[in-house]
Amino acid sequence: MDTKKALDFETVELDDRNDALVIIDQTLLPNEFTYLHLKTREEIWEAISELRVRGAPAIGIAAAYGMYLGLKSSAACDFNSFYKELKKIKEYLASSRPTAVNLFWALDRMEACARNNRSRSISEIKELLLKEAEEIKAEDIRVSKSIGEYGLSLLRPNDGLLTHCNAGQLATAKYGTATAPIYLGTERGYNFKVFADETRPLLQGARLTAFELNRAGVDVTLICDNMAATVMANGWVQAVLVGCDRVAANGDTANKIGTLGVAILAKNYGIPFYVCAPTSTIDMDCPTGKDIHIELRKPEEVTDKWYARPMAPKDVNVFNPAFDVTENKFITAIITEYGIARPPFQPSLVEIFSKKATGRMQFSNI
Ligand code: MRU
Please give the average per-residue pLDDT across 140-144, as a whole number.
97
**Strands 339-341, 333-336: pairing kind:** antiparallel
Candidate of 26, 53, 256, 295 to mutate for ligand 1, largest count of ligand atoms within 8 Å of Cβ: 256
Atom of ligand 1 at shortest distance to CA of 59?
Answer: 4
Q: How confident is the model at residue 7 (pLDDT cuts 50, 70, 90)?
A: confident
Across-strand partners of 24?
A: 35
Quick one: pLDDT band at residue 1, thresholds 50, 70, 90? low
The pLDDT of residue 48 is above 90: yes
CB atoms within 10 A of CB 261: 17
Expressed in angstroms and rounded, the spacing between residue 51 Cα and the centre of ligand 1 is 10
DSSP 265-315: HHHHTT--EEEE--GGGEETT--SGGGSPPPB--THHHHTTT-SS-SS-TT
Q: Please give the residue that has the higher pLDDT: either 218 or 5.
A: 218
Q: Which residues pair with 340 in a beta bridge?
A: 335
Mean pLDDT score, 107-125: 98
User: Which CATH fold topology does 147-357 show?
Assistant: Rossmann fold (3.40.50)
pLDDT at 147 over 70: yes
**Within the chain, which residue ranges are assigned CATH 3.40.50.10470?**
147-357
Distance of CA 120 from the midpoint of ligand 1 (Å): 37
Q: Whose CA is nearest to atom 6 of ligand 1?
A: 55
Section 205-227 average pLDDT: 97
Residue of 26, 165, 293 best suited for mutating to test ligand 1, as the one with most atoms within 8 Å of CB: 165
Q: How would you class 326 by CB atoms within 10 Å of its CB: exposed for 0-12, middle for 13-18, buried for 19 or more?
A: buried
3-state secondary structure of 160: strand
CA of 84 from ligand 1 middle (Å) equals 31
| Contact in structure between 11 and 172 (CB atoms under 8 Å) | yes
Q: For residue 255, which atom of ligand 1 is closest to its CA? A: 8
* Ligand 1 atom having least distance to the Cα of 323: 8
For residue 148, report the distance from its CA to the centre of ligand 1, in Å: 17
Global confidence as pTM: 0.97
Mean pLDDT of the region 195-206: 98
User: pLDDT grade, residue 2 (50/70/90)?
Assistant: confident
Q: What is the percentage of the chain residues whose pLDDT exceeds 90?
A: 96
Atom of ligand 1 nearest to the CA of 177: 15
DSSP, collapsed to helix, strand or coil, labels residue 246 as: strand
pLDDT, position 6: 78
The angle that helices 101-116 and 56-72 make with each other, rounded to 10 degrees, is: 40
Tell me what pLDDT residue 188 has. 97
Q: Ligand 1 centroid to 165 CA: how many Å?
A: 7
Second CATH level (architecture) for the domain 12-143: Up-down Bundle (1.20)
Catalytic positions are 245
Q: What backbone phi and psi angles, to 5 degrees, belong to 213?
A: -70, -40
- Mean of the pLDDT values across residues 228-252? 98
- Residue-level pLDDT at 220: 98
Ligand 1 mutation target, pool 24, 164, 166, 170, most atoms within 8 A of CB:
166
Q: 85 or 1, which is more confident?
A: 85
- What would the pLDDT profile of 315-365 be if each residue is shown by its tens digit? 999 999 999 999 999 999 999 999 999 999 999 999 999 999 998 787 755
Query: pLDDT value at position 5?
Result: 75
Residues with CB under 6 A from ligand 1: 51, 54-57, 100, 165, 167, 171-172, 176-177, 204, 243-245, 255-256, 322
How far from chain centre, in Å, is Cα 331? 18
Rounded to whole angstroms, how far apart are CA atoms 47 and 186? 32
The pLDDT tens digits of the residues spanning 271-317 come to 999 999 999 999 999 999 999 999 999 999 999 999 999 999 999 99
Express each pLDDT in 73-99 by its tens digit: 999 999 999 999 999 999 999 999 999
259, 164 in Cβ contact below 8 A? yes
Rounded Cα distance between 26 and 255, Å, is 18
Mean pLDDT of the chain: 96
What distance in angstroms lies between residue 115's CA and the mean position of ligand 1's atoms? 30
Q: Which atom of ligand 1 is nearest to the CA of 54?
A: 4
